[in-house]
Amino acid sequence: MSRDQIFQHPRAQIVDFVFDESVAGVFPDMIRRSVPGYELVVPMTGLLAARRLCRVDGPLMYDLGCSLGATTLATLRALDALDESSTDLAIHAVDSSAAMLAEAGNGISDGRVRFIEADIRDLILEPCDVVTMNWIMQFLPPEDRLTMLIRIREALKPGGLLIVSEKIHFEDSQQEAFSDSAHLDFKLANGYSELEISQKRSALERVMILDTQNAHLTRFHEAGFGPARVWFQCLNWVSFAVSA
Ligand SMILES: C[S@@+](CC[C@H](N)C(=O)[O-])C[C@H]1O[C@@H](n2cnc3c(N)ncnc32)[C@H](O)[C@@H]1O
């Protein structure tokens, strides 16, 4: 796994973060060292998805913002581990970054997985059973998030499942400060320098826009979903399981 050193050296000017070749090349290292719980949330997402997929005939799952396909792979592994025959399964793994999909295609070769290069806001969603959005909603313009969720809710079949994992912020300033400083320690302990952390934060400032947990829950409700549960939280990182 290549080490993320993208923000190691001082930069005269920080430009907005993009998921280009340099990020795709180090992404597994970057996300594990930056996102508390990544190594738990991805396989658990796979398990939650697999449980739903193995209950229906000809199941279809969308992995939106798939990056290198970690969630897709976790779902395939979970189906195997549950010993579920899943030959009629299809997973559409979607990302707008050609660089990410090129790396994903090198790592996953399975006839049930179709990688699609598209902006998920323009994608026509077929009737489906599971949709995963692991750390992508935060990169959509806030004004497009409700519309995206409505389109997902309309595509999900009855009994369908949406998983959304996100970084959140807190209305309570003390809670925000506590989580922020513990997250900073997490990154320092994982070998990032203060310079790297600060330069990356500046690069993400305008492209990664966080909501509160309540804003997420309210939006799921507004989009017409059934019950939404927080099934994982570590500091300011949460994951929701939302019923269609
Ligand atoms: C933090 S990564 C997602 C990580 C991935 N889900 C995982 O579990 O490893 C965010 C991804 O969303 C993609 N992305 C951002 N905006 C997008 C959009 N509008 N349509 C499609 N993909 C998008 C980026 O290219 C990037 O690969």
The pLDDT tens digits of the residues spanning 175-220 come to 999 999 999 999 999 999 999 999 999 999 999 999 999 999 999 9
Mean pLDDT of the chain: 96
Longest CA–CA span in the chain (Å) reads 55
Tell whether 209 is covered by a domain. Answer: yes
Judged against a pLDDT cut of 80, whether residue 84 lies above it is answered with no
Q: What is the pLDDT of residues 45-69, one digit of tens each?
A: 999 999 999 999 999 999 999 999 9
Residue 155 φ/ψ, nearest 5 degrees:
-80, -30
Q: Which ligand 1 atom sits nearest the alpha carbon of residue 68?
A: 9
CATH number reported for the structural domain that contains residue 153 in this entry: 3.40.50.150
pLDDT of residue 125: 98
Residue 170 lies inside a defined structural domain of this protein: yes
Q: Within a domain: residue 236? A: yes
Give residue 113's domain range: 21-243
- 9 assigned to some structural domain: no
Q: What is the DSSP secondary-structure string of 58-114?
A: S-EEEEET-TTTHHHHHHHHHHHHTT---TT-EEEEEES-HHHHHHHHHH---TTEE
**What local confidence, expressed as pLDDT, does residue 226 receive?**
98
CA angle 234, 239, 242 (to 5 degrees): 155
Whether 197 is covered by a domain: the verdict is: yes
* Percent of the chain residues past pLDDT 90, beyond the cut: 92
Taking a C-beta distance cutoff of 8 angstroms, is the pair 167, 199 a contact?
Answer: no
By C-alpha distance, which of 200, 181, 207 is closest to 5? 200
**Span from the CA of 174 to the centroid of ligand 1 (angstroms):** 30
Whether residue 105 lies inside any domain: the answer is: yes
Is 2 inside a domain boundary? no
On the question of pLDDT at 87 being above 90, the answer is no
Does the residue 68 lie in any domain?
Answer: yes
Domain count, the chain: 1
Given a cut of 90, whether residue 31 has pLDDT beyond it is yes
Amino acid letter at 1? M
Q: Are 41 and 134 in contact (CB under 8 A)?
A: yes
> Going by CA atoms, what residue is nearest to atom 25 of ligand 1?
97
Task: Give the nearest ligand 1 atom to 66 CA.
Answer: 6
- Nearest protein Cα to ligand 1, atom 10: 136
- Tell me the whole-structure pTM to 2 decimals: 0.97
Instruction: Please tell me the predicted confidence (pLDDT) of residue 182.
Output: 98
Atom of ligand 1 nearest to the CA of 121: 19
Q: pLDDT band for position 153 (50/70/90)?
A: very high
Task: Give the rounded percent of residues in the chain with a pLDDT score beyond 70.
Answer: 100
126 Cα–ligand 1 center, Å: 20
Instruction: Extract the tokens encoding 220.
Output: 């799921």
Backbone angles phi, psi at 164, to 5 degrees: -125, 120
Spatial neighbors of 15 by CB under 8 A, at least 6 apart, are: 203
Query: Within its chain, how far is the Cα of 166 from the centroid?
Result: 7
